[in-house]
Amino acid sequence: MKKLLAKAAIGAALIMSTGPALADFKPLEADPTEINFGIISTESTANLKQQWLPFLADMEKWTGMKVKPFFAPDYAGIIEAMRFGKVHVAWFGNKSGMEAVDRSGAEVFAQQVGVDGKQGYYSYVITHKDNTALNSLDDLLKCDKSLNFGIGDPNSTSGFLVPSYYVFAKNGVDPKKCFKTVRNANHETNFMATANKQVDAAANNSEQWVRSHNKVPALAANVKVIWKSPLIPSDPITYRKDLSKELKAKVKGFFLTYGRFGAPAEVKKARDILAGMQLAPFVDSNNTQLYPIRQLALFKDKIKIQSSALDANEKTAKLAEIDEKLATLGVLSDNVGM
């Protein structure tokens, strides 16, 4: 078993280096004097500031360092900012977190927990409630190029990767050939476009569903869900792996104690701030939480190759390579209790 795990660990390193080289990120010369905190663009910057700034203010008090929010118009902007040392700590989705680990020197150290205590959420496909012609995936995937579809950022887990696999790849559907138009947007934009009949259907998630119903209940009441995914692991919190042990401990200590320890008034204040973010206190995590997402990405690639027009020998070789990676991830997942 030790030999098997050692081989699997080597295989995992190979899996995580199939994209740009791990050494491609720019090493930090020293710890930063202030922390830039990356926040992925799931919603408008104004909404994200309202949710995150009180939390970051408390992080600043705890660490004794200036903590500045870092926003970008898309997920790739945060991944690249971490890659070049412009972001030191970041909230990602699992797909973007996987990209950041592989390309930007990121390391998962904590995981979000929903305000309901669940360590997971769901991808949705939504449509307007008045659209009686769309009630299921069969209705959505008629593929007569009559529908306008909103999909998420390419680095989004629930907005892109999960529907790309479960909705499209598993059903042998190419969205670009199926729909009249396919456009990428963040969760909030896709939700509002659906509510206002600007798209016929869109990928979304259970977190945005709750947020939109709380923020714009009248508009949100116009939206219905026609597909729900299996449970997706809650989002990771990452820091640059080349931060010093001392700074890592300080940052991780803040996340894992926030809303748990302190004077009763402080704990209540922290819990209220987290509730405004639809969160409960964070839990410890590491890069292994990304294993299911790596498996999902590989399954998606496998289905794409199987239906491709590649030469038979090339197809066989590529499929064998994917199967080996999946086997490695299976061993690793089994041995971390996933």
Structure tokens at 305: 């190759």
Q: Give the pLDDT of residue 8.
A: 44
Mean pLDDT of 91-105: 96
Res. 146 pLDDT band, cuts 50 70 90 = very high
Q: Give the pLDDT of residue 337.
A: 56
Q: Give the pLDDT of residue 306.
A: 85
Mean pLDDT of 93-102: 96
Higher pLDDT, 254 or 6: 254
Give the closest residue to 45 by CA, choosing from 195, 189, 182. Answer: 189
Would you list the domain boundaries of the chain?
2-119+234-292, 120-232
Strand segments (E) across 143-205: 148-151, 181-184, 201-205
Mean confidence (pLDDT) of the chain: 91
Q: Is the pLDDT of residue 21 over 60?
A: no
Please determine whether the domains at 2-119+234-292 and 120-232 fall in the same fold group of CATH. yes
Superfamily assignment of 2-119+234-292 in CATH?
A: Periplasmic binding protein-like II (3.40.190.10)
Q: Give the pLDDT of residue 332.
A: 81
Q: What is the pTM of this model?
A: 0.85
Q: Give the pLDDT of residue 300.
A: 86
3-state secondary structure of 253: helix
User: 256-314, pLDDT tens digit by residue?
Assistant: 999 999 999 999 999 999 999 999 999 999 999 999 999 988 988 888 898 788 889 99
Structure tokens at 31: 């710890």
Q: Give the pLDDT of residue 19.
A: 45
CA distance 47 to 80: 23
User: 31-68, pLDDT tens digit by residue?
Assistant: 999 999 999 999 999 999 999 999 999 999 999 999 99
CA distance 97 to 238: 8
Q: Is the pLDDT of residue 6 over 60?
A: no
112: enclosing H helix or E strand: strand 106-114
Q: Is the pLDDT of residue 213 over 70?
A: yes
DSSP summary character for residue 311: -
Cα 74 to its chain centre, rounded Å, is 12
Res. 148 pLDDT band, cuts 50 70 90 = very high
Q: Give the pLDDT of residue 20.
A: 45
Superfamily assignment of 120-232 in CATH?
A: Periplasmic binding protein-like II (3.40.190.10)
CA distance 57 to 69: 10
User: 81-92, pLDDT tens digit by residue?
Assistant: 999 999 999 999
Q: Give the pLDDT of residue 271.
A: 98
Read off the amino acid at residue 198. Answer: Q
